[in-house]
Amino acid sequence: MPILRVTDPGNVRGSASVASAMIFELRHRLIFLRHGETDWNAEGRLQGGQDIPLNAKGRAQAEEAGRIVGKILGRDKARIDACDHVCSPLGRARMTMELARGALGLDPKAYRLEDRLREMSFGRWEGMTWPEVQKDDPLAARNRELDKWGLVPPGGESYAMLCDRLAPWLETISTETIAVAHGGVARCLMYMLAGTATERAPMSDIWQGRVLVFEAGKYRWI
């Protein structure tokens, strides 16, 4: 089980919740893959809970991420298969997991879904580009630029709220884990597992086709 260490709640903007005021120290390595590219990614549209499939580039990125996981774990199929393979239920994440597992020579379907790994909801903004949001809702867009961590889009979630959703899942990790999810989830994990400041985490680039490894209170890209 993870160890919970309470941090300075003043570092958590936009939420006074207990879950978001904690850093998780995992006993086991977490290997994270962001889903591959979709057409909405390429167009700069906010996806959130919308189920947009991978495009051709995204499928290639998913396979490459699988090969990187194989390098991390020494191409030991038994060791890789022994990891907990867990995935957001959204189709772009599931397709990424299945293509990555296929690249590893594993059964593409042998993984489990975790609803708490869904992307953060952008509510009414989903499907819009940021310039469209700025035109449609200039006050909320300006407020989000001032507090990207804490601002709640209309009908959606903030990063702080997403951390609250993820916290109970982190408490369940009991073995080396390979997770496929989304950019917002990765940014929350950077804060929760590596102490990245809430001002910096929402601005961090989350690469597709690469692998993000969380271990010993730090993260690294491979």
Asked whether the beta carbons of 215 and 190 are under 8 A apart, the reply is no
Which residues pair with residue 33 across a beta bridge?
180
Set out the domains of the chain in order of their start, with CATH numbers: 3-221 (3.40.50.1240)
**CA 134 – CA 107 distance, rounded (Å):** 44
pLDDT in tens, the chain (222 residues): 555 554 544 444 334 343 444 588 999 999 999 999 999 999 999 999 999 999 999 999 999 999 999 999 997 888 899 999 999 999 999 999 999 999 999 999 999 999 999 999 999 999 999 999 999 999 999 999 999 999 999 999 999 999 999 999 999 999 999 999 999 999 999 999 999 999 999 999 999 999 999 999 999 999
Residue with tokens 């950077």: 190
Write out the catalytic residue numbers.
Answer: 35, 119
The dihedrals phi and psi of 55, each to the nearest 5 degrees, come to -95, -175
Q: What is the distance of C-alpha 146 from the center of its chain?
A: 22
Q: Name the burial class of residue 94, with classes exposed (0-12), middle (13-18) and buried (19+) by CB atoms within 10 angstroms of its CB.
A: buried
Q: Are the CB atoms for 214 and 193 separated by under 8 Å?
A: yes
With H, G, I as helix, E, B as strand and everything else as coil, classify residue 215. strand
Report the C-alpha gap between 34 and 136 in whole angstroms: 29
Sequence-distant (6+) residues with CB within 8 A of 80 are 69, 70, 73, 104, 106, 178
How confident is the model at residue 124, as a pLDDT? 97
The pLDDT value recorded for residue 22 is 58
**Residue 125: which of 113, 117, 133 has the closest Cα?**
133
CA distance 37 to 61: 7
Helices (H), 15-76: 39-43, 56-72
